[in-house]
């Protein structure tokens, strides 16, 4: 698969989704909290809504990639919504750390900040009710 190649597209509630292949990486290069040497493949999910556009990274298993099984745009979007709702439903970093069982402060900050950034990006697009939308896209 070529870099930038469109893998899947879908529209849900007027939100246009385009999932494109980006590249392979080692899991530890992507997720600092993992010691895994496993390869993952990276997608870019473009989300268009209200004449605005944002792109998000999404990662899939290299085992699926080798079998020519690729993620769907709706699966990637649901994952993005899950990250955003994880931030939305906690009151602070301590509650976030407790909920996810993360004990290292640097890992808490990294994951919390990533979820917060995703939440803010979706809000900037004009997506108001993330949880309701997540229910509609649940995979």
Tens-of-pLDDT digits for all 139 residues of the chain? 677 889 899 999 999 999 998 875 544 444 444 445 566 778 899 999 999 999 998 887 767 767 777 778 999 999 999 999 999 989 899 999 998 888 888 888 888 999 999 999 999 999 989 988 888 887 5
Q: Which residues contact 130 (CB under 8 A, 6 or more apart)?
A: 81, 84, 85, 88, 119, 122
Report which DSSP code applies to 1: -
pTM value is 0.83
Residue pair 113/102 in contact (Cβ under 8 Å)? The answer is no
Sign for the pseudo-dihedral over CA of 113, 132, 60, 124: negative
Q: How far is CA 11 from CA 16, 17, 71, 100, 105, in A?
A: 4, 6, 15, 31, 38
Read off the DSSP letter of residue 39: E
In the chain the first and final C-alpha atoms are separated, in Å, by: 25
């Amino acid at each position: 698969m070529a870099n930038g190649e469109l893998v899947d597209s879908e529209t849900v509630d007027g939100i246009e989704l385009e999932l494109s292949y980006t590249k392979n990486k080692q899991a530890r290069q992507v997720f600092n909290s993992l010691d895994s040497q496993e390869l993952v493949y990276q997608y870019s999910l473009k989300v268009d809504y209200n004449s605005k556009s944002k792109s998000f990274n999404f990662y899939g298993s290299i085992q699926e990639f080798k079998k020519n099984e690729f993620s769907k745009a709706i699966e990637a979007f649901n994952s993005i919504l899950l990250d955003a709702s994880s931030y939305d439903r906690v009151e602070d970093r301590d509650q976030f750390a407790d909920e996810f069982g993360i004990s290292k402060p640097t890992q808490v900050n990294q994951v919390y900040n990533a979820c917060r950034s995703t939440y803010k990006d979706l809000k900037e697009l004009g997506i108001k009710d993330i949880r309701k939308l997540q229910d509609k896209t649940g995979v």
